[in-house]
A and B are shown apart, each in its own frame.
Chain A
Amino acid sequence: MFNKLIENSTAKSPWLYHMNTGSCNGCDIEIVAALTPHFDAERFGCKLAGTPRHADIILITGPVTEQSKDRLIRTLEQVPEPYVVMAVGSCPNSCNVFKDSYSVAGPLEKYCHVDVSVSGCACKPEAIMLGVVKATEILKEKRRAMKK
């Protein structure tokens, strides 16, 4: 019974941690736009958390540049267990126009398992919100799996 309650509330209160691995800030402002009154992600209980320790969903924007590669890996390790990685925008999914640049260390796939990817070069806030909703289901599964 208690686990059922925790699973439901895990889905209902996803805390977002936004990580910028070299993005052009297009998707970053879209993420923050999702929290503004017009789109209001807080309806789903979303809250922008300050540290990876508080995070449930990690929003990663930007092609993983060489410099931010090991910081990305270190931060992802510091997130407590049931967490979901969400690649926002085309850059993390496939390094977009920066594909073979000398300073880009390849798509996010290489460094962690991406659960949800939202594409769009500067994806729409609605797409991000839909991604978060999809992520919450995945969170629920992960939480159930964790309990077994």
Chain B
Amino acid sequence: MMLANYCVSIFLIVLGLYAVANKHNMIKIVLGMGIVDYGVNLLIVSIGFGPGGTAPLFVISELMKGAYFVDPVPQALTLTSIVIGACVDAMALSLVIKIYRKYHTIDSTEVRRLNG
């Protein structure tokens, strides 16, 4: 059924994690986090899909026995997840700006005063 969606979302998650784990440029790290988030959002949306279902918008009078709707709950969850993803990226970027102003670099290998 939605095999393509699942493969793409898994690919996106793995790509995002690769970016977070290997890229030294902090902005790329933040982008990586975004990509992971998008992968998970895609996963959420594709779960709610039912073949042949219509959009879950209806008026009580039209509600017939045979109507088959796509599951509305994951779509609601995706909304919150997108919002959260956006906030995370916003905060991360503001932190990167602050780090640049203080450390004068955004290379993650140099920003390592707290170690050991």
Chains A and B directly touch (beta carbon < 8 Å): no
